[in-house]
Structure 1
Amino acid sequence: MNNDTPSSFITGRCTLVGAGPGDPELLTVKAVKAIQAATVLLVDDLVNDEIVQAYARPGARIVHVGKRGGCKSTPQAFIERLMITAVREGETVVRLKGGDPFIFGRGGEEVEHLREAGIECTVVNGITAGLAAVTALGVPLTHRDHAQGVVFVTGHAKTGAGAAEDPTDWRALAATAYNARLTLVIYMGVSGAGHIERELLQGLPGDTPVAVIQHASLPHQRHIATTLGNLQNGIAEAGLASPAVIVVGDVLRGLAAAEVPVDADKFGT
């Protein structure tokens, strides 16, 4: 089939499925059904292998399309072409993504490209890492006494032609978080932790509680509870790396008081 195939002649279908933060038991029922029905699975690196092994149908074509921050990744345009081609060939395609497809998963871009090709797709939400990470610590993202809202933000700047040098105004975000009593959940921020710390300190106190959670929901989850003024040092001393989520805000005060901030031997689930 060529790129001008009318949508009425397209017999395949595509679903963007959120695989959640890693724990297979956190999959939704709808996600499991979609995975079981797929004849082609395009799987991100951060998806737990156990999910594919447990639910992919025998004979399904499984294509690993690596998408991991800080590592060499499959070009997005190539993934989109694979999706469109497979649907036009009559396949039932599942694009299996870590967390939720519409929270820093580039799901919006993929939906746009599919629609431009005359293909409508379904989206199945997954539990995003920012939610699972704090829940695993027994901490809420909002609390009537500490936080009236939550902001999800990426710490990884878009690169390439036309990209802003630092698209996130961390100073303005810090001031807003302080005045409006918001919890900040920062994805893909470990590599830029020093810059994020310096900028957030322009609007938030140095003793603002911070948690950094690596491999949220998995058996090898690790975390630190520290303060904003010690964010970069805490990450370095504990040896934490991506994939990890940084959470900033007063909802963490109880956690911070209960733990030694940067002794790596004391970290874990």
Structure 2
Amino acid sequence: MAEHPAYPVGLRLSGRRVVVLGGGQVAQRRLPALIAAGADIVLVSPEATPSVEAMADTGEITWLRRGYEDGDLADAWYALIATSDPEANTRASAEAERNRVWCVRSDDADRATAWTPATGHSEGVTVAVLTTDARGRDPRHTAAIRDAVVEGLRDGTLVAPHHRTRTSGVALVGGGPGDPDLITVRGRRLLAEADVVIADRLGPRDLLAELPPHVEVIDAAKIPYGRYMAQEAINDALIEHAKQGKSVVRLKGGDPFVFGRGMEEVQALAEAGIPCTVVPGISSSISVPGAAGIPVTHRGVAHEFTVVSGHVAPDDERSLVDWPSLARLTGTLVVLMGVDKIGKIAETLVAHGRSPGTPVALVQEGTTAAQRRVDATLATVAETVRTEDVKPPAVIVIGEVVQVGPGTSA
């Protein structure tokens, strides 16, 4: 048997009896997949790990609290033998052979009639990897191959063409703060499968260079529009391409719903009858401070943080922010899109009670190769922005957390 490779097959175990002997670490690793497959699982073991015991407590498996006995594999379709008793393992394996039950043995793979592949999953695809040469099995190498394939499918670097008609529509993808490695796995996969990508300038631009040549990339900042018609023009572009039967990705910086007008696009697509998938992204309000060594909360320093848009000044009649209330908070204040208004913002916070010496950090081009951090206080931040030539995009953090990290100063 060892001279021939294993024959790969997918077992459909839903509702079928599966017997697991042993409740240790091997069972703990294998049981979740068997449960997900819908198997009728019987665990035979005098003891079990806390995690396995919890599976029994919730009714996911039936636990017989004893050692193996002849006849335990009767009517089983599949067996996993993983006890610490070699003699019991041998007897159970012999019973499986007599009853033609496919049997995996954790203690002696050469005496098993089945092997468990290294498996992984990605959007409806199961990847299972087996070593073909029984004499040279290397579980770590097999797992590494599995991981490489699954990672490629998830992040879009390994793309298999679709041979069936795909459903057209729009995916609203949050691209994260700028570093291409910080987009979600799902977002990157959808990007790799797109026909059209409409991208913001703050999205992870490096990912666009990886797209196949046939993908149409549209810079949202260059769509012709009047000053106040930008969002309507983008909505129209999304609808137009989706109605042509194309798979469209709207790639936005950060998270689509954090000052990103994502819901306006969702509403426009819904009115046009176009399906839309929303993929959340890592918001720059948290990730950029973190990348600069600033926690937005810290034990004994800040028990809350508030994220606010600074695109209009506090004295602007269009402002919806209650700045006096924010000044009275003791936690962290994170300001997005506020570089050119930080002077007015600082004045307002101080006027309503925040200390002029409150630490401030400005993190420009956060998470990218051009990232830089500039520190100041509420009293000095306006002048610091001018002298240090701080430019958007920059995340502004106001509060004592600015000084928590090692080697920081106001």
* TM-score band, normalised by shorter chain: 0.7 to 0.9
Alignment match of 1:243 (pick from 381, 384, 393): 393
CA distance in 2, matches of 1:104, 1:77: 16
- What letter is aligned with 1:192? K
Report the counterpart of residue 3 of structure 1 in structure 2.
none
Report the counterpart of residue 200 of structure 2 in structure 1.
44
CA distance in 2, matches of 1:109, 1:174: 30
Deviation at 1:74, TM superposition (A): 7.4
- Is 1:197–2:346 an aligned residue pair? yes
Instruction: Check whether the contact 2:176–2:204 (CA below 8 A) recurs between aligned residues.
Output: no
- Is 1:254–2:404 an aligned residue pair? yes
CA distance in 2, matches of 1:189, 1:119: 34
Report the counterpart of residue 16 of structure 1 in structure 2.
172
Instruction: Check whether the contact 2:170–2:238 (CA below 8 A) recurs between aligned residues.
Output: yes
**RMSD over aligned Cα, in angstroms?**
2.2
Counterparts in 2 of 1:1-269, with a 5 A limit? 12-54=168-210, 56-66=211-221, 75-157=230-312, 164-175=317-328, 177-178=329-330, 182-201=331-350, 202-255=352-405, 258-259=408-409, 261=410
CA 1:151 to 1:238, structure 2 compared with 1: closer, same or farther past 3 Å? same
- Corresponding residue SS for 1:192: helix
Instruction: Check whether the contact 1:14–1:83 (CA below 8 A) recurs between aligned residues.
Output: yes
CA distance in 2, matches of 1:35, 1:210: 36
CA 1:137 to 1:12, structure 2 compared with 1: closer, same or farther past 3 Å? same
Deviation at 1:58, TM superposition (A): 3.1
* Cα deviation 1:21-52 (Å, max 9, x = unaligned): 11111111111101011101001112233111
Deviation at 1:204, TM superposition (A): 1.0
CA distance in 2, matches of 1:49, 1:148: 35
* Cα deviation 1:196-224 (Å, max 9, x = unaligned): 01111123111111100100001111111
Bigger shift: 123-132 or 248-257? 248-257
Percent identity at matched positions? Answer: 38
Instruction: Check whether the contact 1:65–1:74 (CA below 8 A) recurs between aligned residues.
Output: no
CA 1:210 to 1:255, structure 2 compared with 1: closer, same or farther past 3 Å? farther
CA distance in 2, matches of 1:17, 1:227: 35
- Corresponding residue SS for 1:94: strand
Unpaired runs of 5+ residues, structure 2, are 1-166
- What letter is aligned with 2:184? T
TM-score (norm 2): 0.55
CA distance in 2, matches of 1:257, 1:228: 20
What is the number of residues matched between the two proteins? 238
Instruction: Check whether the contact 1:39–1:57 (CA below 8 A) recurs between aligned residues.
Output: no
Deviation at 1:73, TM superposition (A): 9.0
TM-score (norm 1): 0.82
- What letter is aligned with 1:29? V
- Corresponding residue SS for 1:167: coil
CA distance in 1, matches of 2:402, 2:335: 14
* Cα deviation 1:214-246 (Å, max 9, x = unaligned): 000011111112211111111112110111111
- Corresponding residue SS for 1:240: coil
- What letter is aligned with 1:141? V
CA 1:165 to 1:105, structure 2 compared with 1: closer, same or farther past 3 Å? closer
Deviation at 1:103, TM superposition (A): 0.7
CA distance in 1, matches of 2:407, 2:269: 49
- Corresponding residue SS for 1:207: coil
CA distance in 1, matches of 2:297, 2:191: 32
Report the counterpart of residue 5 of structure 1 in structure 2.
none
CA distance in 2, matches of 1:73, 1:253: 40
CA distance in 2, matches of 1:89, 1:75: 22
CA 1:46 to 1:74, structure 2 compared with 1: closer, same or farther past 3 Å? farther
- Corresponding residue SS for 2:340: coil
